[in-house]
Amino acid sequence: MLVHLSIENLGLIETAGLEMGPGLQVLTGATGVGKSMLLASMAILRGERTRSDLVGRWADRAKVTGIFQLDEPVAMQISQLIGTDIEDGELVIEREVRREGRSRCRIDGRETTATLLRRIAPILIDVIGQGHALKLVQPGAQLDLLDRFGGLLELREQHTHAWLEARELERKILHIEDGVRERSDRRMFLEHILEELDGANLSGDERENLEQELVLLEDRDRLLACIESVRHRFEEQESSILDQIGETGRDFQGMTALHPGIEALVQNCRESSILLEEALRGLSEVESSLDLDPQLLDQKRQRVDQLVSLEQRYHRSGTDLIEFREQCSEELELLGGADEELPELHEGLQRCVSRLREGVERLHEARVGVVAQMVELVSVDLADLGLSKARLEGCLQPLDSGTGWNGMDERGAEHFEMLFCANPGEKMRSIGDVASGGELSRLMLALQRVLAGSTKTGTLVFDEIDSGVGGRLGDAIGEKLKQIGRDHQVLCVTHLPQVACHGTRHIRVIKEMEGEQTRTRIEEVSGDQRIQELAMMLRGDRATERSVAEASEMLEEAQILEPEADR
């Protein structure tokens, strides 16, 4: 429990120290004096996000320190979370909130984070405000309360763990199946590429050769005319070039001994004749190749178009297309067949689902066994809180077919709803549909009283849980809070003297003026001071002799009457 709370520069509180003990501590004060700052200090210790404008205007930072005394099991639990031992069961939490928005956290003097504070907060402090009752109508909240009451959280946690493992296994299967489909699509794509490229019967420089042939063939007529003209000039006409070269050689044939130049001329004429004759034979071959069937010419054109289309589709040239074809063939071999792991994984998932269904059946049976018990105990407390004619029922219903997974979610295979009827003769309906704000508050208080023995939170803070409730029920509310205080340390902010008189300690919040400065002071009141405070709460403006006498009587009766034994 929280044994000491220290606050510095928070709101209107410049400095305040508060000693706290077991049981019910009540906090009172006029509206606007700064009680909310005490609740804000609890939120700060819990690691919650805090507004920087809560820092007092005379300082650049606010500081809250809480000293907790823990029993051995709780100390061990928190030690595991923070990673260090807790000496003598005493835990000190400090948190600074700076005006510029940053904060610093320390646990037992060691720097830590707000995230870690939020992890250990549910063990240390829980704040139950007016809006807390509204959580009763949120999905899953009532089932959480039922499982807490029945001590089923561990069993549910086992189910949650198994459920998450099964969902992870399913995700793995889906991922593999997606991969199988992707590989199948890839195989089909590669097979299509290979079929197309193999059908094209590629060779590296085929396109270039064909294009050269086509250029030649496209200018066929002009080329044939040139060949015919050359042949005529070189060998067919009278006194052709070859004839003239031959005659020149023969004219000088007998004079080669006269001069080396004449011998060279004769030799060159002979060689020139040979070269020209070979060139003319080559022209004959060209001429034969140009004598092409028009259908074959069209086929060559179509072949070039096919090669160009393949190169454009795959963004590769002829030689690169052949290499690409080899790469596709190798990849196709590596892809292989369907994954052999899938059948085994599917069998494993079915086993997990079967075990989960067995587990949720056990969880359902356990819940059925505690629903009536919880409803009965809460109904008794509701009667004490002025709702004696109200009826409360608990209803377990299977999850809708459109929700969950395999008929389950992380909480089990059902949802729990409390049905409420405030007056006889009315139809039982969901508490969110029929309960007023005051009725919800009393229902939450009754649930907290019934759940007091099962929750592990050390300090429970009730923020005006009596809001919307008249003074006639204040005494019953105070007694319920005192009963909760038998299992927990309870801090209750209240405006009802009928509640405040039940506290084992009474803390008063006062706003004072010092010159032009307004500050809030926190003090514990007892004896006559406490009677005066209760009298002021009764009267609303000032204590009178009659209100003092009534306050004294209220306090005496509340302190003498022992709370009823746990129901």
Q: Residues 315-328: pLDDT tens digits?
A: 888 788 888 888 88
* Residues 6 or more apart in contact with residue 496 via CB below 8 angstroms: 466, 469, 471, 474, 477, 478, 537
Given a contact cutoff of 8 angstroms between Cβ atoms, the answer to whether 407 and 159 are in contact is no
Confidence of residue 565 (pLDDT cuts 50, 70, 90): very low
Lowest mean pLDDT among 58-67, 192-201, 400-409, 438-447: 438-447
The three-point CA angle 74-21-386 to 5° equals: 95
pLDDT over 70, % of the chain: 92
Which among 284, 285, 295 is positioned nearest to 235, based on CA atoms?
284
CA distance 279 to 283: 6
Average pLDDT over residues 72-77: 88
Pairing of strands 125-128, 459-463: parallel
* Amino acid 362: pLDDT: 92
* Contact assessment for residue 491 and residue 21, using Cβ atoms and an 8 Å cutoff: no
The model's confidence at residue 339, banded by pLDDT at 50, 70 and 90, is low
Measured distance CA(436)–CA(386) in Å, rounded: 14
In angstroms, rounded to a whole number, what is the distance separating the alpha carbons of residues 294 and 298?
6
3-state DSSP assignment of residue 387: coil
CA distance 319 to 113: 63
Tell me the pLDDT band of 469, cut-offs 50, 70 and 90.
low
528 pLDDT more than 70: yes
For residue 127, the model assigns a pLDDT of 82
3-state secondary structure of 394: strand
CATH number of 1-129+464-472+483-523: 3.40.50.300
pTM (whole model) above 0.75: no
Altogether, the residues listed in the chain come to a count of: 567
Residues 272 and 390: their CA atoms lie apart, in Å, by: 130
Confidence of residue 567 (pLDDT cuts 50, 70, 90): very low
Instruction: Report pLDDT for 368.
Output: 93
Q: For the chain, give the percent of residues with pLDDT over 90.
A: 16
- Which of 172-186, 331-345, 471-485 has maximum average pLDDT? 471-485
pLDDT at 566: 41
- pLDDT of residue 102 exceeding 90: no
Strand bridging mode 489-493 / 24-28:
parallel
Could you tell me the two tokens for 274? 């040979």
Give 414's pLDDT tier (boundaries 50, 70, 90): very high
CA atoms within 13 A on the CB side of 263: 5
Does the pLDDT at position 106 exceed 80? yes
Check residue 329 and give its pLDDT.
Answer: 87
Domain ranges in the chain with CATH number 3.40.50.300? 1-129+464-472+483-523
Residues 132-153: b if buried by 16+ CB within 10 A, e if exposed: bbebbbeeeebbebbbbbbebe
pLDDT grade, residue 95 (50/70/90)?
very high
Please give the pLDDT value at position 564. Answer: 45
Residue 314 scores a pLDDT above 50: yes
Query: Is residue 401 over pLDDT 80?
Result: no
